[in-house]
Structure 1
Amino acid sequence: MANNSAALDSVFQALADPTRRAVVQRLGRGPATVGELAQPFAMALPSFMKHLGVLEKTGLIRSRKHGRTRTCTLEQKNLAAAERWFADQRSLWASRYQNLDSLLESLNGEERES
């Protein structure tokens, strides 16, 4: 559990940055070269490569070099872990809201009976 928690923490930390979120979003449409990924951002390539390094270290992306071209792809495994965490939270809170709704309905019914 602690290892899963650490992996999830690193995914959320990586996705906390808007540049990295944009890269993940773009790679959701398919593989892209580093040049294609860097093009929309007004930063030097070494700075952009640091963002890719963070994403690669957390396992959100993978890159392969073919000649002089590095192509990145999205890795679904760690992203799926974050999605499962959100789904679990959504389910937990939906249940809590349903319990609250039931309590309020019963209290409202008691007021009408009085």
Structure 2
Amino acid sequence: MSRAARLLVALIFFSGAFCSLPRPASAQQKPKLKPLHIALANHSVTMTAIYVAKQLGIYENYGFDARVLVLEPRAAIAALLTEDLHFYTAIGSTGRAALRGVPVRVGLVALNRPDFML
């Protein structure tokens, strides 16, 4: 095989290998994120995990466009019932609403003690 033929074979091989490389991440289409509305009763240190997860992009990694809102309890429960809100972090208000027959559930309590003392 002549030198020119070997160069041509090498050129074809490397051009094929180059074309098969994945596109850069900026050129790839990102999947559409599903909206996720999370309401807090107030800004407090106990809600730090929600803000940190948003800043680190954890919600986006799982396909959600998280929007963190601060809502008054009655408005939040009403938004849960109309499905405009997906999660509400105030377990006291949610638990009282459930005891009154409102179809809501407390799914997670992240503290093993109250975050206040007398």
TM-score, length-scaled by structure 1? 0.21
| Structure with the higher helix share, 1 or 2 | 1
Larger Cα-atom Rg: 2
